[in-house]
Amino acid sequence: MYNSFRAATNLLQQLIEIPSFSGKENQATDLVQDYFASFHIKTQRKGNNVWCFNKYYDAAKPTILLNSHLDTVVPNECYTHDPFRPEICDGKLFGLGSNDAGGCLVSLIAAFQHFYSYQGLPYNLCVAATAEEENSGINGIRAVLPELGHIDAAIVGEPTQLQIAVAEKGNMVIDCLYTGKPGHAAREEGDNAIYKCLKDLEWFKSHRFQRIIGGNEPVKMTVTQINAGTQHNIVPAKCMLTVDIRFDHSYTVEQILFIIKEKTNSEISVMPGILRPKSISCDHSLVKAGISCGCGTYISPTSSDLGWLPVPAIKLGPGNSARSHSADEFVLLEEIKSGIDLYIRLLESEQLAHNIDWKRPGNAFPATKSYA
């Protein structure tokens, strides 16, 4: 007999065993395809992304996308558990990607399977396991969206402690280049590029953007990488800072960059793939459905594939964002069980089942396919 919780945890344990760094998710994608095939569910694939629709797809009905990602970050050096060995201890399932976002992915898949053969669904369901979320790559959800037909709303699975993120910050990454002149470290020669960045390092650390919407810090800048020097006795001629920037609607990308360029002394280049901030009205049926199931709402400080979706969407899932990218990552088995239950209750709620005012925003992704 099919047991959704057991199937979900077994699938997650298998996913943990497979390294699936961003851009290298092919084996994890194979596994998910094989998993669906074992239940006779037809899938489609593009690159390292796989998706499928409910059995009785009806193009006349709205479609809800259930999406989470397959990829993980590279494990840090502080792990004490083998990141690729799923280990259950005291109700915790340890392993790289268990919390971010494997627990969410397998819970969404279980919820999709619950509804897969329903003939009377008031909407269609599409579940998509996608790639390159962690590096905002172009071969992840962005590559898949045009293949899905018309999507009306979405649930993005990320660890939110089963609370609804009704908004999340955007994400921009910049490189700041400082140029000096090489010289011998033992003599007063050269112009040290590292010293040139010191004042800017302090500015990135201490500057506060004043314009605030909703009471949250509008822009957060964090220097995450410094690159300089070739060997100990040569004054470095170049130094590069990488800055991770999270921002809400208080400032535009252009305004943020203008302020940084005005206040710092570097040659700035913006990395491709800027994620814009995303929000959904609390009056939307997805949010109301979650609230009716006991969920609270909040504004997320982190970014996700939510930012790429051109439709109303919420971020919701089992797990805790504080564990993401940490050493000895884990998800609680009880969180997965609760996640499956919540996704099912939300999708069954009266707010969705009897909602007749879905408004389709134009033809961003025309429905050119039939999956019936």
Each residue of 67-121: pLDDT tens digit?
Answer: 999 999 999 999 999 999 999 999 999 999 999 999 999 999 999 999 999 998 9
Residue 104: inside a domain, yes or no?
yes
Spatial CB neighbours of 352, under 8 Å, sequence gap ≥ 6: 64, 122, 123, 285, 286, 289, 346
Q: With cut-offs at 50, 70 and 90, classify the pLDDT of residue 362.
A: very low
Non-local CB neighbours of 193 within 8 Å, separated by 6+ positions: 178, 179, 180, 228, 236, 237, 238, 239
- CB of 47 within 8 A of CB of 38? no
Tell me the two tokens of residue 191.
């112009």
Domain end point (choices 270, 293, 308): 270
- For residue 44, being part of any structural domain is answered with yes
Distance CA 11, CA 104 (A): 12
Give the pLDDT confidence score for residue 351 in this predicted structure. 81
Same domain for 163 and 25: yes
Rounded to whole angstroms, how far apart are CA atoms 39 and 323?
A: 32
CA 343 from centroid of its chain's CA atoms: 18
| pLDDT at residue 15, as a whole number | 98
Within-domain flag for 313: yes
The angle subtended at Cα 61 by Cα 147 and Cα 369, nearest 5°, is 30
Per-residue pLDDT at 1? 53
Both 134 and 43 in one domain: the answer is: yes
Q: How far is it, in rounded angstroms, from Cα 20 to Cα 28? A: 6
Give me the residue label for tokens 């479609």. Answer: 63
The DSSP letter of residue 166 is E
Other beta carbons within 10 Å of 282: 12
The two tokens of residue 292 are 């009716």
φ/ψ of 154, rounded to 5, equals -150, 150
Mean pLDDT of the chain: 92
Q: Taking Cα atoms as reference points, which of 214, 200, 205, 209 lies closest to residue 267?
A: 200
**317 within a domain of the structure (yes/no):** yes
Helix (H) or strand (E) holding 193: helix 193-196
- pLDDT surpasses 70 at 261: yes
Smallest CA-to-CA distance from 121 within 185, 183, 66, 200 is with 66
**Is residue 211 located within the same domain as residue 82?**
no
What's residue 367's pLDDT?
32
Please indicate, yes or no, whether residues 56 and 161 belong to a single structural domain of this protein. Answer: yes
d(CA 72, CA 18) in angstroms, rounded, equals 10
Quote the CA–CA distance of 144 and 45 in Å, as a whole number.
9
Which residues are registered as beta bridge partners of 173?
244
The three-state secondary structure class of 182 is coil
Q: How far is CA 319 from CA 51, 120, 225, 230, in A?
A: 23, 31, 28, 42
Is residue 32, in this structure, part of any structural domain at all? yes
What are the C-alpha distances in Å from 14 to residues 28, 59, 107? Answer: 9, 34, 14
Task: Answer yes or no: is 360 within a domain.
Answer: no
From the list 123, 109, 114, the residue with the least C-alpha distance to 57 is: 123
pLDDT of residue 176: 98
> What pLDDT is attached to residue 358?
56
Q: Span 279-303, mean pLDDT?
A: 93
Examine residue 367 and state whether it is found in any structural domain, yes or no: no
The least confident of 310-324, 338-352, 354-368 is 354-368
Number of structural domains (the chain) is 2
Shared domain for 146 and 295, answered yes or no, is: yes
Q: What is the CATH number for 60?
A: 3.40.630.10
DSSP 74: P
Q: What is the pLDDT of residue 361?
A: 42
Q: List, for residues 167-214, the tens digit of each pLDDT value.
A: 999 999 999 999 999 999 998 789 999 999 999 999 999 999 988 766
Do residues 207 and 221 both lie within one domain? yes
Residue 271, pLDDT > 90, answer: yes
**Residue type at position 95:** G
- Tell me the average pLDDT across 215-220: 83
Q: Which of 7-16, 304-313, 318-327 is most confident?
A: 7-16
Q: Give the pLDDT of residue 370.
A: 28
Q: Of 241, 270, 299, which residue is a domain's last?
A: 270
Domain boundary residue, one of 239, 270, 301: 270
Contact 149, 52 (CB under 8 A): no
pLDDT of residue 214: 60
pLDDT tens digits, one per residue of 143-161:
999 999 999 999 999 999 9
Do residues 98 and 19 share a domain?
A: yes
Are residues 125 and 67 both part of a single domain? yes
pLDDT value of position 215: 62
Q: Please report which confidence band the pLDDT of residue 365 belongs to, taking 50, 70 and 90 as the band edges.
A: very low
Mean pLDDT throughout 123-130?
97
We report the CATH number of the domain holding residue 183 as 3.30.70.360
- Residue 11's domain comprises 4-168+277-353
Q: Are 214 and 111 in the same domain?
A: no
- Which tokens is 361 given? 């925003």
Whether pLDDT at 357 is above 70: no
- Rounded Cα distance, 127 and 121, in Å: 15
Looking at the structure, tell me whether residues 22 and 53 fall in a common domain. Answer: yes
